[in-house]
Amino acid sequence: MVDKIKVENLNCFYSGKQVLKNLNLTVKKNEILSIIGPSNSGKTSFLRTLNRMNDMNVSFSRKGDVFLDDDNIFEMNPEKLRTRIGMLFAMPIPLPMSIYDNIAYAPKVLGLKNKKNMDEVVEQSLRDASLWDEVKDRLDSSAIKMSGGQQQRLCIARILAIEPEVILFDEPCSGLDPISTAKVEEAMLKLKEKYTIVLVTNNVKQASRVGTRTAFFLMGELIEIDKTQNIFLTPKNKLTEDYITGRFG
Amino acid sequence: MNFKLSPKLSQKIAYTLLVISTIIVIVPVLTVIIIIIKNGWSALSWEFLTTMPKDGMRAGGILPAILGTLAIVSCAICVTLPVGVCAAIYLNEYAKDNLLTRIIKLAIVNLAGVPSVVYGLFGLGIFVMLLGFGVSILAGALTLSIMELPVIITTARGALSSVPYSFREASWSLGVSKWQTIRRVVLPNALPGIMTGAILSISRISGETAPILFTAAAFYVPHLPKSMFDQVMALPYHLYIISTQIPNMPKNIIFGTALVLLLMVLSMSLIAIVARLYFRKIRKW
C-alpha cells in the first residue's frame, strides 16, 4: 500500500522537555493505524504534531520532518494542512450552534461549498458518521443538547464535511459508554474505505478491534509497529507483550 | 480563662452580622432614591424635559443638559467600545505571554483606578489645548472614552476568556484561521458579557462630572448643540451648578434634575440586565 504519512526522525519538546524521541514510522493509505501506550507516552503529542495544533502552544518545539504525500507539513500553511488532516478530540466539542450549523460551519467559512450544495453536504456527512437517522428531524436544534455519543459522531460529521484525506482520532471513546463506543467504531471502519485514520486509544481492545496496524509507544519512543494481529498474538518486544497483557501500566 | 462560643451561638452571631451588613448596604441607596423621588417628582413634566432653562435656570426645562449629556456619552461610547474591544481581543487572543504583555495588563487594571479628575486635567491638556478642540463635545467625549477604556478592556477580556478554549481548538482543527475563529465563534459567545460591560460603562460615564468639567461643560448655553466643537450643558455639571452657584433656586428643580439623571442611569442598567438575560437565553451552552 501507498504511504500517506511519512514521519522522519521526529523529536518534540515542551519547554525543552523531550516528549517524542526520534520517531520514524509511516501511515499507509486507507488503513487505521492505532497507537497504544500508557499516559505520558507521547501519543497525543504525536497526533497534535501531525496537524500542527501544537503550533498554538508557545512552549512547543520540534526537530525532524513529517511528509503528507510528498509535502513537508511544516512548510505548508497550517490552516490548509488542517483541512487535509482533520482531528477528533477526546471530549466531544460541539460548537454552540445548531446541528446543521456545526457541520456547515467550516465549509461555509472556508468557502468550500456554495449555499445550494450545503444541505447535501450536511446530509452526506451525517450519513457517513452514522448519525443521520437520529437527527434528521431536528437539524435546527442545539448540538449541545445531544448525548455524548451523538456529539462525538457529530464532530466526526463536522470533519467529514471538509473532506480531509487523513483523520486523527484522539481517544475518541474515552468518555463514552460501550454502545456509543461501538457506534463510533462502526463509523470508523466505514470511513477507512475513503480516509486514512490514525487512532490514539487507551483501550487496548479497541485497537485490536479496529486497527489495521498497531503501534506501541512508551515514554516518547516507538517500541513496536506491526499488523494488529501480529502485535497482539506474537509481539516481538517484551514491553509490548507486558503492556497488552496488562502486566504494567 | 477558657471562653468558647457554642457552635449554635457563633452560627447565630455570624448570620446576624451578615444580615446587618446587607441592610447597611441597601438602606442608604434606597434612602437616596426615595428622597430624590419625593422632592423631585413635582418638577417632572413634559415641559421640564423638552424646554430651555429660563429665569437664570430657576424655571423652564433642562433640555440642553439632557441633550448635551446624551451627545457626550454617545460619542464617548462610539470611540471607547470599538477601540477597547479590539484591544481586549489582541491582549486575550493574540498577545504572547511575556513581561511586556503582563506589564500592559497590570497597567490597564491600575488605570481603572485613577481618579476621574486626573483624566479631566489630562483631557484639558491634550484635547482642549494641545489639539485645539477647545471646550467641546469632542474633547469631553474623548476624555470620557479614555477614562472608560481600561474598564471596557477589562470587562471585554473577562467575557472573551469565559468562552471555553476548546471551542477555539475545535474551530482551528477544522482549518479555520485564528481571526475567523474569533469572529464566528469567540465574539458571538462573548457578546453578552461585552454588552453588559459596555452598558454599565455608559451609565457610569453619564454621571461623571470631573472629566467634563474642564473639557466640555458650560454653565449656560442659550442654544442647543450644533456641532462637535460646541460647548454644551451636561446633566451632572448642571446639577452641581444649580445646587451650589445659584441663589434662591427652587428645590424641586434641583431634585427634579437629579431624578432625571438617576432615571437615565437606572434605565441604562436595566437595559444591561435585560440584554444579559436575552443573550443568556439565546446562548446554547
Q: What is the pLDDT of residues B157-185, one digit of tens each?
A: 999 999 999 999 999 999 999 999 999 99
Euclidean distance between CA atoms B242 and B255, whole angstroms:
10
DSSP B126: I
Angle, CA of A70, A73 and A75, to the nearest 5°? 100
The predicted model gives A184-203 an average pLDDT of 90
B176:A79 CB<8 A: yes
What are residue A168's DSSP bridge partners? Answer: A87, A198
Q: In A, which residues are within 8 Å of B190 by CB distance?
A: none
The reply to whether residue B97 touches residue A58, judged by beta carbons under 8 angstroms, is yes
Bridge partner list, A222: A217
Q: Is A165 exposed, middle or buried (0-12, 13-18, 19+ CB in 10 A)?
A: middle
B89 within a domain of the structure (yes/no): yes
Whether residue B171 and residue A79 make contact (CB cut-off 8 A), yes or no, is no
Closest to A224 in 3D by CA, of A197, A208, A243: A243
Give the chain A residue whose CA is nearest to the CA of B188: A96
Task: Please name the amino acid found at residue A93.
Answer: I
Mean pLDDT of A197-211: 90
Q: Who's near B248: CB < 8 A, 6+ residues apart?
A: B58
First to last CA, chain B: 57
- Classify B87 as helix, strand or coil: helix
Q: Which residues of B touch A (CB under 8 A)?
A: 96-97, 166-167, 169-177, 180, 184-185, 189, 283-285
Decide if pLDDT at B1 tops 60. Answer: no
pLDDT band with cut points at 50, 70 and 90 for residue B285: very low
Residue B9 domain-assigned (yes or no): no
Interface test with A, best of B98, B174, B282, B285 (most A CBs within 10 A): B174
Cell, residue B243: 445646587
Q: How many angstroms separate the CA of residue B173 from the nearest CA in chain A?
A: 6
Cβ atoms of B174 and A51 within 8 Å: the answer is no
H or E stretch at B59: strand B59-60
Interface test with chain B among A15, A48, A83, A97, by most B beta carbons within 10 Å:
A97
**What span, in angstroms and rounded, lies between the C-alpha atoms of B31 and B15?**
24
Cβ pair A183, A133 in contact under 8 A = no
Q: What average pLDDT does range B11-17 have in this prediction?
A: 94
Angle (deg, nearest 10), helices A178-191 and A115-128: 120
Tell me the pLDDT tens digit for each residue of A109-137. 888 767 778 888 899 999 988 889 998 89
| CA distance, residue B89 to nearest chain A CA (Å) | 16
Domain that holds residue B137: 46-51+59-282
B208 falls within a domain: yes
Instruction: Give the pLDDT confidence of B102-125 residue by residue, as tens digits.
Output: 999 899 989 888 999 999 999 999
CB contact under 8 A, A105 and B284: no
Burial B192-228 (b: 16+ CB within 10 A, else e): bbbbbbbbbbbbbbbbbbbbbbbbbbbeebeeebeee
Sign, Cα dihedral of A56, A57, A59, A63: negative
Percent of chain A having pLDDT more than 70?
Answer: 98
The answer to whether B189 contacts A89, with C-beta atoms less than 8 Å apart, is no
CB B272, CB B195: distance < 8 Å: yes
B284/A56 touch (CB, cutoff 8 Å), yes or no: no
Q: Do B174 and A142 lie within an 8 Å CB cutoff?
A: no
CA distance B191 to chain A (A): 13
- Cα separation, A85 vs A72, in Å, equals 13
A101 neighbors A164 (Cβ within 8 angstroms): no
pTM (two decimals): 0.83
Q: Return the residue of B nearest to A161 by Cα.
A: B174
**What are the pLDDT digits (tens) for A205-245?**
898 899 899 999 999 889 999 999 898 888 888 888 888 88
Where does chain A show beta strands of DSSP type E?
3-14, 17-28, 32-36, 60-68, 71-72, 85-88, 166-170, 196-200, 213-218, 221-227
Residue A248 pLDDT exceeds 80:
no
> Cβ–Cβ of A58/B283 closer than 8 Å?
no
- Helix (H) or strand (E) run with residue A229 in it: helix A228-233
DSSP A67: E
Mean of pLDDT values over B69-82: 92
Question: Which residues of A fall within a CB distance of 8 Å from B284?
Answer: 96-97, 142-145
Q: How many residues does chain B have?
A: 285
Residue B104: give its domain's CATH number. 1.10.3720.10
> Is CATH 3.40.50.2300 correct for A3-244?
no
Q: Which chain A residues have a beta carbon less than 8 Å from that of B166?
A: 89, 91, 93
CA pair distance A123, B5, nearest whole angstrom: 69
CB contact under 8 A, B173 and A91: no
β pairing state of A3-14 and A17-28 = antiparallel
DSSP label of B79:
H
Could you tell me if A218 and A184 are in contact, meaning their C-beta atoms sit under 8 angstroms apart? no
Contacts of A58 in chain B (CB under 8 A): 96-97
Q: What integer best gives the mean pLDDT of chain B?
A: 88
- B264-284: average pLDDT: 78
Number of domains in chain B: 1
Rounded to the nearest angstrom, the minimum Cα separation between A233 and chain B is: 36
Scored b (16 or more CB within 10 A) or e, A19-38 reads bbeebebbbeeebbbbbbbe
Give SS3 for A245: coil
Radius of gyration of chain A, Cα coordinates, nearest whole angstrom: 18
The amino acid present at A44, given as its one-letter code, is T
**Using the 8-state DSSP alphabet, how is residue A152 labeled?**
H
Chain B environment of A80 (Cβ under 8 Å): 175
Which residue ranges make up each domain of chain A? 3-244
Nearest CA in chain A to B177: A79
What Cα–Cα distance (Å) separates residue B187 from each residue in A98, B51, B110, B170?
17, 42, 25, 15
Which residue of A48, A77, A93, A97 to mutate against B (max B Cβ within 10 Å)?
A93
Distances B203 to A25, B84, B109, B259 between C-alpha atoms, Å: 62, 17, 20, 14
Res B25: pLDDT? 94
Question: What whole-number distance in Å separates Cα of residue B285 and Cα of residue B279?
Answer: 11
B176 neighbourhood in chain A, CB within 8 Å: 79, 105-106, 109-110
Rg (CA), chain B: 23
Q: Do A142 and B169 touch (CB under 8 A)?
A: no
Residue B81 has pLDDT above 90, yes or no: yes
Do B174 and A82 count as a contact with CB atoms less than 8 A apart? yes
Helix axes B137-161, B187-206, angle to 10 degrees: 140
Q: Which residues of B touch A154 (CB under 8 A)?
A: none
**Average pLDDT of the residues in A40-59:** 89
B176: nearest CB among A91, A109, A159: A109
Bridge pairing between strands A60-68 and A3-14: antiparallel
**The dihedral formed by the CA atoms of A8, A69, A34 and A150, expressed in degrees to the nearest 10:** 140
Choose among B240, B220, B268: nearest CA to B57: B220
Q: Which of A82, A97, A142 sits opposite B173 (nearest CB)?
A: A82
Cα separation of B188 and B167, whole Å?
12
The count of other CB atoms within 10 Å of the CB of residue B25 is 10
* Bridge partners of residue B10, in order along the sequence: none
How big is the A-B interface in CB pairs under 8 Å? 66
